[in-house]
Structure 1
Amino acid sequence: MDDTGTALLPVWRANLVLLTREVGAAMRLARMMTFSASYLKLMLSGQRDFSEEFVRGVEAVTGLPPNWMDAPHGVADVPADARDALDNESPRARFRGTAHPVRKASVLRAPEPIFGQQPAAPKRDDTAAEIEAHRRLAGVRKFRDLAVQDVRKLERYLSLPPVDAPALRARIEDVISAADPDDRVRADLAGRLEQIEKHRELLLRHVSKLHELLARLGDE
């Protein structure tokens, strides 16, 4: 991270906390940024630093004015459009960057060799490798977060099915009463209903566990 980013990091963090002070706002912002909610919470708590690229992404996604995050603000300073975007989880742009700050390359020269000694072999510059590792990690997180979004949609769909189970059972019982099938058919219908509900609950547990495992990938 450059000197400007280092100096502004406390201001950025304070404004990020301000934007996510309401219950559930941090989770909504993370989804709007297609980003890990657990990593965002680490940023808010001061356990992880983040880049100017991420800050500009927050401004674009929430509809904040350019460079709004660079100055301290209070609750009343949050624009209504940005608050509406957060409340309704309606991103104004799509963020495809990374939050990880890129370390500056060292400009220090190696010490001169002592007279009579052979100069030591120069150490390999790992800066390029570190940048590439950050890019690869950012790519992993981007694909992971897209997958997490889809899993969350499936989880919400299973949690709130389009047809209410008790209502469906009542309708089928009305059909059974009207048709008066024999005991074998009646038992078969009741068994099908029970199996459908049981398998829906089992599938929901598997999807929830899948979401939990996916959300941790790339954060270690």
Structure 2
Amino acid sequence: MEDSDELLLTVWRANLVLLTREVGAANRLARMMTFSVSYLKLMLAGQREFSEEFVRGVEAVTGLPVGWMDVPHTAHEVPANAREAIDNEQPLARFRGTAHPVRKKAVLRPEPIFGQSGPARRGEEETLDAEANRRHAHFRKVRELATQEVRRFERHLLHAPVELASMRAKVEDVIAAADLDDRIVADLAGRLEQIDKHRHMLLRHVEKLQALLSQLAGGE
């Protein structure tokens, strides 16, 4: 974006907000510009910069005089024909440019809207879609790996009764092999009971963890 564009960006944004102040106007203008609604709203919120090419496109598509966007205006100064074009979603030209700021000024290529095929997707939209797909793919991968580990741990817990029975038998052999104090016998038996109790608690937590991981599929 050139220095002059940077100075005008505040004015452009204010006029763009002015043109889209009515309910649904931002959506209508985005469709008239064959542009991403979400990206236009980021521009309106000051989260994305945009180029003079896009500004001239707004003027051409809505019927505003060339240069109208370069000067601050009030709501009463919006031409009736531009307001009507936005309200009725009736573009007066076809915009095939981009909003992405560039140092070299591009030339607006408005075309008659009749008989034109659907416009190509904007480069920035493709970039955003590619990044979103990459994040979703990465999320699915790490979620599947986590789910596999949880299931593996669950299988280990489910097989634990056999190992626990063997361990219990060996501890009972120790108790029977010696004349142990009653307190020691009670302590050994109590430890075995606590191990079994906590195994059941772990199983419940693992089942809940698996359910939560499965529910994340709907929030990708």
TM-score (norm 2): 0.49
**Normalized per residue, which structure has more helix?**
2
Report which of the two structures shows the higher radius of gyration computed on alpha carbons. Answer: 2
